Chain A
Amino acid sequence: MVKFYIDGKEVVANRGETILQVARREGIYIPTMCYLSKVKPIESCRLCVVEVEGVEGFVLSCQTPATPDARITTDSKELYEHRQNIMKLYDVNHPLECGVCDKSGECDLQNKNLEFRVDSQEFSARDQYRPIQDWNYLQYDPSLCILCEKCVHVCNEVIGDDAIEIEYGGYKSRIIPKDAETLDCTWCGECVAVCPVGAFISKDFKYSANAWELDRIPAACAHCSASCHLYYETKHSSIENPEPKIYRVKNEFEFETLCGAGRFGFDFENREAKKDEEAFKRAIEAFKRADTIKFTSFITNEEALLLQKMKERFGYRLVNDEARAYQRFLENFSQYSGKSLYTPSLYDIEDSDFIILMGSFISSDNPAVRYAMTVSQKRHRSEIVNFHPVEDDLLKPVVTKFVKHEVGSEEAALSMLVDILCDEDAKKRAGKEWLESFDIGYLSAESNIGEEEIEDILKRLKMKKRRGAKRFTLILGEDLYTHPRAENLAKLAGLVDRFSEFDVMLIPPKTNTLGVALICDLDEEEGEFSIGYNQKGDFTLSALGDGDLDMPALNQQEGTFTNIDRRVVPTNVALPYEGYVLNDIAKELGVSDKEYTIEYTKELPKEKGYKEIEFDELDNEFLNDGTEKRGYELEIKKVNLSRKNIEPIEELPEFNGTVIYRCEPVLQFSPFTNKAHQLRTKGKLYASETFLNDLGLKEGDKVNIQKDNITISIEVERDGFIASGAYLGRFDKNIDTESLFKDYRFTEVKIQKV
């Protein structure tokens, strides 16, 4: 804690906090062009210089930590003049195309020129030809670029793609794809978000609207369980068509990071929906007939509560396989960890010094976790160990140790981790049987995890601890929940959480899996007549617009999600919806007496940690210093520990032949992302180079994937981001991948070239 003074005001800085950070927190204004709070100070703009008493010259406030009792002046005549001169230099040869520039109206350069009253440019430099670069979803215009480097830093420090860099050349400097002809990255579009001028823009949005025309609707991203905060920006579709349309997505880029699916996959709304009374009547009849409701986790907490209420009233079976698996995993985990929920949040991951990731293809399962890991790697040089059968090259700059294990041997891996991470108490708790079955030689041989690899992890862990590491996180993913031995895995995870320094995080696989798992009482078996909600059933309610009755998509609904941070976050209606909603059905059935679905927000089950807060009272913003004020966090309750011993480790399953994985390609999460016009693509079998070579396939070949008596005909595409294996996604609803992957995310298939 350092006490000092800014403009006479006494302020206190925490350790390592810079002058600018303190000033921002205290609401004192220091102008900047290149400062971005989520990355390291960039120091290219030099606008944030301040005067310090007793120091000759100006001191850069963005990177200088405060010294005790320093007296700092943020504004003076000299400072103003120099800042003004800097702005003049920024204006040298900056094209005067504000008229068409997409950024006009929210452009930092415009704002600062106005602020420093630069209304004319008195010198110029010889100009040069700088063509606009066209990079898939993005465009880069070097002549507009002021080289603040925000994009480069965010790509390197937060995203982890490290896909762009500056081609140094003084006045000729520009942004170029790193080590490549053209940009090939995960298309998070964060460079567009952080660009203070119009140099980086979204090609789709280009020239279609101006900043000031768009209405901002704060919402939560509906694609994955990170439920990132974002704004849908809407405007009428065209002069002829007054219907509002989402033009783009923006985010609070200073504090938060969106992935490409969130940024470019925004128009997944159900456009066709009308109040079709006939269909509604049929739906009510179907509900009267049905004994099962099948649904996915692409619903809000309130809808989940409605489904639960229907179940309580009519005894429906609620079937949601993925949430059910997660629910059971969480329950078993709780019984051994003693906590009703996992504790770490994405912020904790960012602060972790040692992270072990297991059972998740994180770059497509949950990019937010990947970004958090990148931040921890870059900021704390954390050790990141990834256990997975599929090598993900995207994680290469992030992961410090990759442990490739055999498909299906997660139990072995987790057991070995328990062995090295936990103390003797844990082993005692695990029980004699388990301990007896723990034969490291056998496990190592079968899982292909070398003992020396485990030792190396231990060595790294010790090294980290010597260097004063404090936070350790074990992140577990969907592979484990769907694993045939999920129950045991959950218990082992519980042990790790309880008996080691490691905190365990269980990534919810889908948008609101955590919410559904907490709110709904899920069933295993389907009945005779089922109603599917965003899922095929005998009668289908669908937000995709292909069912028997239309439902609103998540950008047409208000409500809350329970996200990966265990936070209940609100989302709002971006686009109007004409048709019926679930609450209408519930009202018709006599289950609901509320007019709006959001009236249920305060009725979410308190025993699960929800709070009795009205929807309209939920915050949805970030404070000046980056504090997230969105909704509220679920309360973690104490759970009675189970006294049962953990079952012995079973013989590890063997997967021979061709094994494929179930995950989505980058930028896809579900049929909803695939519905968005920018992301729309055909489902393919994505395979690594080695996989293709092994099977003698080429990109573009058609293959038949066979399992039991199911055959899927599909095209093959090479995915350069994975170094081994192949995967199939579920985002293309025309391809029935469901039947291939009954439980586990890996499956043995036969692949034949057609």
Chain B
Amino acid sequence: MESAFVIETIIKILVVLGLFSALAGFATYVERKVLAFMQRRLGPMHVGPWGLLQVLADGIKLFTKEDFIPQGANRIIFMIAPVITAASAFIAMAAIPMFPEFTIGGYTVRPIISDINVGLLFVLGVMAIGLYGPLLAGMASGNKWSLLGAARTAVQFLSYEVVTGLSVLAPVMIVGSLSLIDFNNYQAGGISNWLVWKQPVAFILFLIAGFAETNRTPFDLLEHEAEVISGYATEYSGMRWGMFFIGEYANMFTIGFLASLIFLGGFNDLGFIPGAIAILLKVFFFIFLFIWARASWPHIRPDQLMWLCWKVLMPIAVINVVITGIVMMF
């Protein structure tokens, strides 16, 4: 039993690692295509049919590219920083139940690496650790743009961590558990049971904070080229840069899963749609939403970002929690 668990977990880890790495790559393809279509373009077309192998080509490129460390950089930290980002992104996934349970050859598989009862807290916490990646990378690069980028990372991530936490607090209060499976199960009764109807404000706040946490447009200030070149990643190339990249996309999936699980009914069957497919659709909707927003909206200024966080979103979140509490009391 023990050994089976270990094997199962290792397999799950590997599957998650492999799958999400691949998905991250695939997401880049999708992103490029969707952006192109929205801009009346075609996007990558040359590598493989409809440019499908572009991901592969990019991967090969990233792997084979020279690993370059600037002279003035702090070598060790510089080398470690991307690993932190990638690692934290994947570790966060450990507590996320991806699909409903299924049985393979009589063996029931729970598609979660580790169902811990504070799963939500774990996910949020580990994602918060991801902050160290860009922060350290920027500080270690020995480049003022990187440093600025790092500073922005710290500010942005820390600020929106608050909003994320506060926005999730209300659902947590309703569900009364921090396990994401509990969340899922709480909403098992169909669409009407989705938490989003009870907590629409929290959902919106979570979503906005999610954009910020994953460094997506309109909050992509960390690597805003016109101001700080590539921000913390300025000095990175090859696979090290790739790790930041994978981390970012992994985070997008994490947020997508979180949002689906917390607000949109998780992997419960949706009418005729099996739960597994339902959650995938939901996740992909969020991924699409990320891309869609990027295609549609301009990004905002850092001061607007902070203004939004502290003066708009956080008060709303607090009020939301308070109102939730009051409603629950009566």
A–B touching in complex (CB under 8 Å): no
